[in-house]
Amino acid sequence: MAAGLLALAFLSPIAACSSKGSLDDLKNPTPSRSTSSFKPSTSASIASDTPTWNFPVNLDGWRMDIIDRDGKNRAINSAGCYLTTSQRPIAGPLEGDREESEYQNERIATTLRSQLTNVQAQPASETRVSGFSGKKIEGAASEISYTGKDGVAYKGWYWSRVFGKIKTPVLLQSTYACPVQAYSAAELTSIINGKLSILSRASEDFDG
């Protein structure tokens, strides 16, 4: 994997805190139920109200190099792209699902700006990921371009969703990023519309 992407491969699980809290508010988050993300998308796969990722471990042209490591998964391809997911508890108090999701996603761009150059962020058109029983899970999403430490230009889609209305609030994040010439909006759409999904009984909409 290119050096510029390697340093950013786990931006999705940036330490989670609410807009009213601090990083110290997150008390030893326990591993999430990523193991259930490798089961079929049936009601039996959801052991509680905690949303979990259903990661496509056999995605054509991709190779899994990290599976269920502290709630993180990553696949890479020969073009230098990566697809990641992460999930972890998030400390309160919480403003609301929309506000907290937008805040967490903005933190990604802030972190990139502190590490890299030519960082440009804009709202992404793709803001929903496939959910349980055909639902589409709403999230905060950004398209971010930047120059890596290797001097290569990259582009990525960064998605965040806080589920704050459940017993244990949780932050789910995903990233699809590539060297600019390898980035494919069509591939991203294909991945998030059926291949990558979220198992959840929680509301799919921010305001639901």
pLDDT-derived band of residue 82, with 50, 70 and 90 as boundaries? Answer: very high
Q: Which pTM does this prediction carry?
A: 0.80
For residue 178, give the nearest of 59, 62, 53, 86 by alpha carbon. 62
Residue 31, pLDDT > 50, answer no
Q: Would you state the pLDDT for residue 207?
A: 82
Contact between 58 and 48 under an 8 Å Cβ cutoff? The reply is: no
Decide if pLDDT at 179 tops 60: yes
Class of domain 3-22+30-199: alpha beta
Measuring CA to CA, how many Å separate 139 from each of 8, 134, 168, 174, 185?
21, 16, 18, 10, 17
Tell me the pLDDT band of 126, cut-offs 50, 70 and 90: very high
Question: 93 and 100 in contact (C-beta within 8 Å)?
Answer: no
Evaluate if residue 5 carries a pLDDT over 60: no
Predicted pLDDT at 135:
86
Q: Supply 181's token pair.
A: 């010439």
Whether the predicted pLDDT of 191 surpasses 60: yes
**pLDDT, tens only, 48-77:** 678 999 999 999 999 999 999 999 999 999
Which residue from 105, 110, 118 is spatially nearest to 145, judged by alpha carbons?
118
